[in-house]
Amino acid sequence: MKTIKGPALFLAQFAGDAAPFNSWKDITRWAADCGYKGVQVPSWDGRLIDLRKAAESKAYCEEFAGVARENGVEITELSTHLQGQLVAVHPAYDEAFDGFAAPEVRGNPKARQEWAVEQVKLCLTASRNLGLTAMASFSGALAWPYIYPWPQRPAGLVETAFDELARRWKPILDHAEDCGVDVCYEIHPGEDLHDGVTYEMFLERVGNHARANMLYDPSHYVLQCLDYLDHIDIYHDRIKMFHVKDAEFNPTGRQGVYGGFQSWVNRAGRFRSPGDGQVDFGSIFSKLTAHDFDGWAVVEWECCLKHPEDGAREGADFVKSHIIRVTEKAFDDFADAGTDEAANRRMLGI
């Protein structure tokens, strides 16, 4: 067994134009002051990182990581959630997702998709230059508009969508292999990879690619009414990244999983700060530890009620209190009778 590393913080929800959230030096110092030992970096945010420089210059990466270390935190992973989303976009979402892309490719789905693929590959190369072994991402989605089978889906529609999704990602995964970096897909509604079954459909189509792994975030499973503890038992070999994010699902006679088009605060299913929702993190940390997960416990703060800075500070303590320092001895070693093979055979009557 291995002790999970942490606590770490995903910086995407905190980066902004006001200090201390508008520069790499200041935000890493702030994260350390909150009690974090690591930070997960949104690679699309130019206020924090120059992704192209990180992919092209090891000297830049050494300086970048050095600033973090001086401030008391490590870089845990880079994230390409927004760029990964743009690897596969159904036309219904073209306008909604256009803002994720560079201005010069907006309004041009083909150019945008090519830009997204390049971005993800740059981030994999940058991850290698930083000495990282995993990168967070979204899969994107072609089939998501057809998630509910009404009207009846035409035969082969979903299969064609997943064939195309795999075709787009396979060269990226091959580049990940060259870099020695796992692509960890956050299994997430709005993505074609939104549960275990869809992940398996994709994995089969990319030839069980060794680099096609998972980012485990139980909050998204609570809102789908999926057994998030059994999920660990099934997929622990593929879980290479962990977001500590809480959620609650409180269905009523008026709304359930789909939320009735309500705001987050008025939905039956909503995200909460760690410890404020329904996720059984004690069992999650126990299962991940028993299955030798050796990555970081990364707080992703999303809460419809609590102030983000309060959530960040509380999240660091929450993770610290849940990390299990693994034992090097059995609790009943005191009762060891000191037997040997001959004694074992006598005890068995053989």
Distance CA 236, CA 214 (A): 9
Q: What is the pTM of this model?
A: 0.95
Domain ranges of the chain: 5-348
CATH of domain 5-348: 3.20.20.150
Per-residue pLDDT tens over the stretch 181-212: 999 999 999 999 999 999 999 999 999 999 99
Per-residue pLDDT tens over the stretch 267-282: 999 999 999 999 999 9
Per-residue pLDDT tens over the stretch 127-162: 999 999 999 999 999 999 999 999 999 999 999 999
Distance CA 198, CA 344 (A): 49
